[in-house]
Amino acid sequence: MSTLGGDAEEKILRALLAEELRISNKHLPAKRVPLKQLLEMEYPCVRLRDGTLHYFRKRELRELAEVARDLADRLLLPILIVLRSDMGEGTAVIDDEVAARVVARLLGINHRGGPLHLYRPQVAELRERFDTVFQIAIFIPLDQVDKGF
């Protein structure tokens, strides 16, 4: 039997979940960099939240530039694919509008604006073709905590 009240327990659970997500997402960039700038770097990279560097393959950047030439100065890398437990198993989202347009081009799908919803096979295809360009983030809405995710 718990000695804490319901509100206190909920605050603790939410704080623990927030910390776990922070740790799970430490591989994400502290700041994203435009494709155009990365193409000009000898060793294209970004600093991650944990202080390490993430390097991009130049081949992947050049291939991406072929598809996103008109957006190279606005396309920030790495592109974040957010796994959303609240949208069903295997569902991911790209919220960045510029990245969503580029990813739709890469996959040959129609995109009318707003977040781009992806499914496991599409994410796998993107990661296979552009391993260093995409990073996966985990998102769990706090209202899902009570449902066991």
* Digit-coded pLDDT (tens) for 29-72: 999 999 999 999 999 999 999 999 999 999 999 999 999 999 99
* Digit-coded pLDDT (tens) for 118-147: 999 999 999 999 999 999 998 776 665 555
State the average pLDDT over residues 89-114: 95
Q: What is the pTM of this model?
A: 0.81
pLDDT of residue 4: 62
* Chain position carrying tokens 């069903």: 88
Q: What is the DSSP string of 74-130?
A: T-EESEEEEEEGGG-TTEEEE--HHHHHHHHHHHT----SSPEEEEHHHHHHHHHH-
